[in-house]
């Protein structure tokens, strides 16, 4: 018996969108694709995100193995976040999604908030 390709696809899509489909996650990864950033730099790059939400999303991305955190000895002590090789491997997929959105999503349609 072989594996049903539709079922495998459903599992894979469920997994990826359960992580990347959360609000702010894609934007955080997009910022980190530009290079390592301090917490405050990430926060400034994403209007409207709260520090608590950013902290939560970064923790989820670290747990998923997509982001790593480095403590920079001070003074002042700082925290630097960067994508792991696994996180950087998302770049082609995110670029394809951005291009798709530019071509296929109408800017005049109302946006819905996802949590």
- Locate the domains of the chain by residue range: 7-104
Q: Which residue has the higher pLDDT, 32 or 4?
A: 32
Q: How far apart are the first and last CA of the chain?
A: 39
* Residue whose structure tokens are 């599992």: 11
* Residue whose structure tokens are 């694709």: 33
* Residue whose structure tokens are 């630097």: 80
pLDDT at 115 over 50: no
* Tens digits of residue pLDDT in 86-114: 999 999 999 998 899 899 987 655 555 54
- DSSP structure class, residue 107: T
Q: What is the pTM of this model?
A: 0.79
Pick 7-104's CATH classification: 1.10.3720.10, 3.40.50.2300, 1.10.10.10, 1.10.1500.10: 1.10.10.10
């Amino acid at each position: 018996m072989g594996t049903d390709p539709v079922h495998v696809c459903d599992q894979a899509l469920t997994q990826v969108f359960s992580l990347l489909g959360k609000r702010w996650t894609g934007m955080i990864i997009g910022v980190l694709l530009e290079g390592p950033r301090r917490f405050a730099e990430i926060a400034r790059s994403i209007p409207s995100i709260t520090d608590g939400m950013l902290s939560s999303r970064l923790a989820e991305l670290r747990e998923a193995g997509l982001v790593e955190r480095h403590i920079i000895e001070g003074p002042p002590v700082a925290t630097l976040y960067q994508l792991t090789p696994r996180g950087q491997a998302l770049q082609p997929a995110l670029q394809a999604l951005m291009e798709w959105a530019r071509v296929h999503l109408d800017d005049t349609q109302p946006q819905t908030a996802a949590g």
